[in-house]
Structure 1
Amino acid sequence: MTVSVRGIYATALTELLAEVGVTNASAPIRERFDRDFSTGPAAAHVSTTSDRQGVGVTGDPDTVGSVVERLREVGADTFRYRDRAPRGAVFEGRVEETRSGGAVVDLGETDGYLPFEESQEYVEEGDTVRVQVVAPKPPWVSRRPRLSTDIRAFGDAATLVRGRDALVADTPNGAPELARTTEILPPDVPADWAVAWEDAAADLSMDALGDALAAAVEAAESLEGALGGGVDVDDVPARIAAPDATTWVWFGGDARRALDDVRRNVTETIAGHHRIKAGSSAASTAVDFAEALGSLPDEFPFAAVSEQFGPAAGDRVAIEHGKPDGRLITLGRGDVTDCDRDAARITVEREMTAGGTYDALDVERQAGDVAVTRFQEGRWWYPTVYRGEDGTRRGTYINVNTPLELFPSSVRYVDLHLDVVKHADGTVEQVDADELQECVEDGLVTEDVAETATDVADRIENAFS
């Protein structure tokens, strides 16, 4: 059981997953660790999500489960989400609608997006189409998983593509010799399948290439067997095969600090290393430069990070309100009216639109209302004061959440449902405690996190009463 690891969390996760076994380590990882790494097919792959907020773990279901359980122990605000459309899963789907560039396909428990360029046939609304998930998406992004009508047996170094005449379908840039090498490798590629060599293949030995191809051939033969039968039209949409599992792991502020500690056991690591890198690609590059220079601060340098990358007074930030089930709701964007860098705190002001009521305050939302919110890095709660156009306080809403992270263009956290409200008449009450308990019962929130949230809400209620 081995895994490959890539992305901004690679050093910490390579150390954390040492007992699982890390293979095909990148050059920087090999230089950083005083140990030997194996090469060859990995049972699972860990890669940083495109927004740098967490990782995706894909591969053999048992290995994925073991890796995810280890990652979940990292910090209190580590959340995991099993993907209902994992990479490599094959569905008999139904086209829900077509758009200018592709079609939305109903897969049953979820849906996906089939770009027309990935479809071998013309599709229109109501059609049944066999598709495979080629690029799953974490639940906190708005995009659907990308589909294709091409069928692949995925591997880390070698992928087999069904329905091709040639022996080799693709090779990495700079490694055309792999096409010739394929002809002398011992595994026989099944008829009607072709090899697409991945980037990881470029650095492998002949033995490792043979092992990678053998693993891909085995996966293709297994997949071919699963695809043999048809699906009754009344059963569409239906999942036909799911050789791999995909689980998404979201890291919060506490988890990123814990990963800093793990990384520090391996190499010099600035306080807030993963927190800064998660903020933006420019900030990520700056972290590498600072660590190369040495003389690192002992505490997270919020003031310096905010000054160089934001947020700062005059900026606009989105309030990214995560939910325990993985969904992400943007509560809107607001203007940063004040940034106290010493306190790691910003004040955000939003002008509200008329219509509806303020949640739990039972006060109508009117034109001209203003919401003033204070966010402080690392805090398990934040207050929002709603005022009318004439300045009258209409109520205060205190959200209880995982530790806040103030990124350059957004404030990020996972909402824990439990909140405290203070009405205009001074009455203070807790709300939605039952929803938090339901999340615990559903396995979305741990008992420890729920206990912390309850303690935070109790202290806030006492302070405001």
Structure 2
Amino acid sequence: MASNSITGANKGLRNSIQLKEGVRIRGIYSTALTALLLSKGIPIANPSEIIKSRFPEVIDNAIPVVTIKDREDKNGVIILGFSKLFEECTKVIAVIPHVILRKSSIGYYDSVKCKIVAAEGSRYLVEMPGKKTGVLISSQKHEVGDYVNAHVIAPLASTPVLREGLAIVGKFARVYDGRGVSFSRFITDYERRALLLSASYKAKEQGLAVRWRSSANNAPLHEILKELDELISEILKLRKIAARYRETAKLRDGEDISEAIFTFYSKMYLDAIRALRVPTVRFHHYIKRAGSEESQYVDLVEELYDCCSLDCVGQQLLKKAQSNVRRARQITLLHEKLSGETIKMKGDIKDISQEDVFTIVRTVKSEGIYDGLGLEKRPGDVIYTYICPGLPFVVHEYRSAGGTLKGYYININTPAEVFFLEKEKLNAYVWYVDLEIDIVRLKNEKARIIDAEILSGYCSRRLVGKDLYNYAIAVANSLRKHLERRADFEINPINLMRNFTLRTL
């Protein structure tokens, strides 16, 4: 059964309400992103007080239909909203240098018919449209093979998460199968809340729950009530349509959602954009994202700045933040893949050189084959990992339990960012995005570049921009040529990092 007419209905519903639409921005990148969006004529909705003070030209009269907010780790932002303005915002963010942009093929609050594949306690493994796998949260009892109505609540998760029941999204509210009425925390006026609560009873009578969005705080009440009636009508129709399905299918579009990852050079660019509006120390976004005690000083220093170079101040703050890492005994590599998966690798810190090169040691506990190297993995093997803040590669050195060198695997990535969490006194973190292209060096073989075609594929699909693609290729070629000039199989990774010419810090 075709579903195009069903998913298209949601767009028609949104377009029927003609109000000025805008973008709500929150998080550590809000000043820079506000400047970028305003330069393209995109209205800002619900600006914070600090944004109002920095951008007097912003008029707070737009309804937020797109939200841009920090990723949980603050290494980028989530963009969430409706088609036209969503696409405009995405295009603006896509031109930020070295940004990685992931557009989810699954929408936030998409309504789907899914098939139960396996039971896992109160959760079920389900087949979604397009043969995708998801996790369904449900209080109902289901058998393998059952078809269930559900809506997506975590589309960016490595395995999308769904909740049982249909849902429809509007500008002012979400209506879904369930019970209860809830409000955005931005709806603070008690009189407005009372009016919205009263209006919600008509949904309750149909076994529906309502979530009032922040845009319902200031919009004309007659527009809000009109939309609510339309949402209730549409979801009742959708129930009848969904009942006829005995196959997986998308029943209704939710909101578009994308993830923009700001790598090192992205953060530096956003620093420069922010500096056009307010005093900004060098490495502002790098330090703010790190969560160290130095991030608390950045705003104060910028506010009181009057006597010296902000580049110098930023360099000193970054230096102090990174010096904290020397107190750590262990380090966790947050190896984020372009696919969205993050692999965590934990090891003991053996040494930190004067050039801030970390030597991390891990002992192999299982048998197998080393990916990329094609060499046998044995328990007792030792892996030495060398990593330096600001450098776009990580060197992995593989040795047997007796110390015999097996080979090198050099991972090409975005410049490594190191941070230290006060609450975890003995553990430091390194974050980067793996750019897929790597270098392998084995005994009696020349250094060779592998997996360049994977990076090329991501570039073709526009997940990676041409600037970042060319940068990764340049790094790989530079390292390969350096290794080819050396006759000896064994290298000194610390010297390699010390002499690398494309360093950023």
Taking structure 1 as the reference length, the TM-score comes to: 0.84
User: Are 1:348 and 2:360 matched, yes or no?
Assistant: yes
The offset of 1:182, in angstroms, is 3.6
* Matches of 2:479 and 2:391, distance apart in 1: 12
* Contact 2:100 2:465 (C-alpha < 8 Å) held by counterparts: no
- What code does the residue aligned with 2:349 have? V
Task: Give TM-score scaled by structure 2 length.
Answer: 0.78
Which of 150, 154, 160 aligns to 1:136? It is: 154
Q: SS at the partner of 1:275?
A: helix
Question: Secondary structure at 1:312's aligned position in 2?
Answer: helix
Give, in angstroms, the shift of residue 304 of structure 1. 0.8
Q: Give the match for residue 30 of structure 2.
A: 10
> Distance in 2 between the 1:313 and 1:389 partners?
28
- Work out whether 1:374 is the aligned partner of 2:386: yes
For the structure 1 residues 221 and 377, does the alpha-carbon distance in structure 2 shift closer, same or farther, using more than 3 Å as the test?
A: farther
Alpha-carbon offset, residue 73 of structure 1: 0.8
Q: 2:452 aligns to what? A: 433
The separation in 2 between residues aligned to 1:198 and 1:433, in whole angstroms, is 45
Unpaired runs of 5+ in structure 1?
none
Structure 2 runs not aligned, ≥5 long: 1-20, 421-427, 485-505
> Once the 2 structures are TM-superposed, how far is the Cα of residue 75 of structure 1 from its aligned partner?
1.6
Deviations 1:43-73 (A, max 9, x none): 2111212222222212112222221111111
Cα distance, 1:171 vs structure 2: 7.0
2:442 matched to 1:423? yes
Give the alignment partner of residue 97 of structure 1, picking from 118, 133, 140.
118
Measure, in 1, the Cα distance between the counterparts of 2:183 and 2:65.
Answer: 22
Question: How far did 1:281 drift?
Answer: 7.4
Q: Is the 8 A contact 2:370 2:376 kept in 1?
A: yes
For the residue of structure 2 that corresponds to 1:147, the secondary structure is strand
Kindly provide the amino acid, as one letter, of the partner of residue 278 in structure 2. T
1:108 aligns with 2:108: no
Structure 2 residue matching 1:412: 3-state secondary structure: strand
Contact 1:314 1:337 in 2 (8 A): no
RMSD: 3.2
Q: Distance in 1 between matches of 2:52 and 2:280?
A: 17
What is the one-letter code of the residue matched to 1:138? L
Deviates more, 1:66-75 or 1:23-32: 23-32
Tell me the distance in 2 between the aligned counterparts of 1:282 and 1:143: 34
Flag the structure with higher helix content.
2
Against the structure 1 CA distance between its residues 171 and 325, is the aligned structure 2 distance closer, same or farther, given a 3 Å change threshold?
Answer: closer
Counterpart in 2 of 1:328? 342
How far the C-alpha of 1:184 sits from its partner, in A, is 9.4
Q: How many residues align?
A: 445
CA distance in 1, matches of 2:26, 2:64: 13
Per-residue CA shift, 1:328-387, capped at 9, x if unaligned?
Answer: 233x211222334x6443222221234223333332222222222221222222222112
Report whether the alignment pairs 1:258 with 2:269: yes
* Superposed CA offset, 1:404-441 (max 9, x none): 22233432222222222221336322222233333333
Q: Does 99-108 or 12-21 show the bigger shift?
A: 99-108
C-alpha deviation, 1:239, in angstroms:
0.9
Partner of 1:48: 70
Whole-angstrom CA distance in 2 between matches of 1:281 and 1:198: 33
Residue 251 of structure 2 corresponds to residue 240 of structure 1: yes
The answer to whether the aligner puts 1:451 opposite 2:476 as a matched pair is: no
Structure 1 distance, partners of 2:301, 2:280, is 9
Does residue 37 (structure 1) correspond to residue 59 (structure 2)? The answer is yes
* Mapped contact 1:86–1:245 kept (Cα < 8 A): yes
- Give distance in 2, aligned partners of 1:16 and 1:220: 37
Render the CA deviation track for 1:140-169: whole Å, top value 9, x for unaligned. xx56434242635354x54445566x8x65
Q: Distance in 2 between matches of 1:174 and 1:234?
A: 44
Q: Does 1:126 align with 2:145?
A: yes
Q: Distance in 2 between matches of 1:401 and 1:371?
A: 19
Corresponding position of 1:388 = 400
Shift of the 438–114 alpha-carbon distance from structure 1 to 2, 3 Å rule, reads closer
Separation in 1, partners of 2:456, 2:194: 60
Kept after mapping to 2: 8 A contact 1:152/1:162 = no
| 1:222 positional shift | 4.9
Aligned residue number for residue 425 of structure 2 = none
Q: What does the per-residue CA deviation read over 1:288-347, in whole Å, with 9 as the maximum and x for residues that have no partner?
A: 444444364434443211234xx33543222222222333233x211222334x644322
Distance 1:283 1:144 in 2: 36
Q: Structure 2 CA distance, aligned partners of 1:276 and 1:450?
A: 26
CA distance in 1, matches of 2:273, 2:71: 20
> Following the alignment from structure 1 to structure 2, what is the Cα–Cα distance between the partners of residues 34 and 174?
24
Paired residue secondary structure (2:290): coil
Partner of 1:397: 409
Deviation by residue 1:207-263 (Cα, 9 ceiling, x = unmatched): 55555555555555555555541365542x211001421112121111111111111
Bigger drift between 9-18 and 223-232 goes to 223-232
Change (3 A) 1:410 1:314: closer
State the AA in 1 paired with 2:435: L
Post-superposition, which runs of at least 4 consecutive aligned residues in structure 1 deviate over 6 A? 188-191
Pair 195,12 (structure 1): closer, same or farther in 2 beyond 3 Å = same
Given candidates 284, 303, 306, the residue that maps to 1:273 is: 284
